[in-house]
Amino acid sequence: MADIINALILGLIEGLTEFIPVSSTAHVLLVEKLLGFHPAGNSFAVLIQLGAILAILLVYFQRLISIAVSLPTSQRSRHFVIAVLLGFLPAAVIGALAHDFIKTVLFESPIAICIALIVGGFILLAVDRVSFKPRYTDAMEFSWPMAIGIGFFQCLAMIPGTSRSGATIVGALLLGADKRSAAEFSFFLAMPTMVGAFALDLYKTRNELNANDGLLIVIGFVAAFVTALFVVRSLLDFVSKRGYAPFAWWRIFVGAVGLMAISMFG
């Protein structure tokens, strides 16, 4: 029963944090260590992310269908699909090559995770205070070189604590997007990226998972789906009005508390 409650808690955390720039992986890994919960090695944190992805697919279902149907006739739709695939490419290549190092080294360093949270928080604060003059206000119009650039920013999130959404949003802002379109492109880029991460991790750990691990992953998956639905539906309006500073301060707070806890309890 304790494991089921832990899986539920972690799934809720995953769904609440996946699409805001605070690093869901960092939050899940740190809370896992706090709870002493380690199902399926370090795969739980990766595998439950698919629940959050299904939330995006549901929220954007009609738009995705519209894009798919219009592909043969719409140059705009083809341009956007190619841009998303180009943005996904750097993470696909680097993630596959560095998978074992990421899981066995970076995922096992809570100090590095906390430092990444704090550093990323200050970067997000700095970026949020800059008065950019955006060249793009529509995610579907991002240029292909810009999409590739955002894809390389996304690779920074392979360091737990960096935040995939935070890295892609900051990258998009620096490359000429406004806050709303930056967040929206991050949503779409998450789809192939997280499905790919899920498939790779599932393949790599297929021989390590048992029935109990599967049950816990399903619980976390469902919890992540439900809470991510709420976040995806409300985030774009929130960042358009409030910016990213609230998330930056939260990152700094969590990272600082984490470092203090590590220094006190080892």
Q: Map out the domains of the chain as residue ranges.
A: 2-265
**Residue of 12 and 38 predicted with greater confidence:** 12
Q: Does 37 have pLDDT greater than 70?
A: yes
Distance, CA of 133 to CA of 201 (rounded, Å): 39
Mean of the pLDDT values across residues 242-252? 90
Structure tokens at 1: 């029963």
Find which of 48-57, 85-94, 98-107 is predicted with most confidence, using mean pLDDT.
85-94
Give whole-number Cα distances, 212 to 25, 42, 195, 224, in Å: 22, 15, 23, 18
Assess contact for 188 and 139: CB atoms under 8 A: yes
Task: Report pLDDT for 263.
Answer: 86
Residue 254 sits at the vertex; the CA angle it makes with 238 and 182, to the nearest 5 degrees, is: 35
Residue-wise burial string across 158-194, b where 16 or more C-beta atoms lie within 10 A, e elsewhere: bbbbbbbbbbbbbbbbebbbbbbbbbbbbbbbbbbbb
Q: Which of 48-57, 76-85, 99-108 has the lowest mean pLDDT?
A: 99-108
CA 155 to the chain's CA centroid: 11
- Band the pLDDT of 266: cuts 50, 70, 90: low
Mean of the pLDDT values across residues 97-103? 81
Structure tokens at 145: 């070189």
Structure tokens at 182: 């930056």
Quote the pTM value: 0.85
Closest to 125 (Cα-Cα) out of 264, 253, 263: 253
Assess contact for 212 and 36: CB atoms under 8 A: no
Q: Does 40 have pLDDT greater than 70?
A: no
Which stretches of the chain are DSSP H helices?
2-17, 24-35, 44-47, 49-59, 61-70, 75-104, 110-129, 144-155, 164-174, 179-204, 211-242, 245-265
- Band the pLDDT of 214: cuts 50, 70, 90: confident
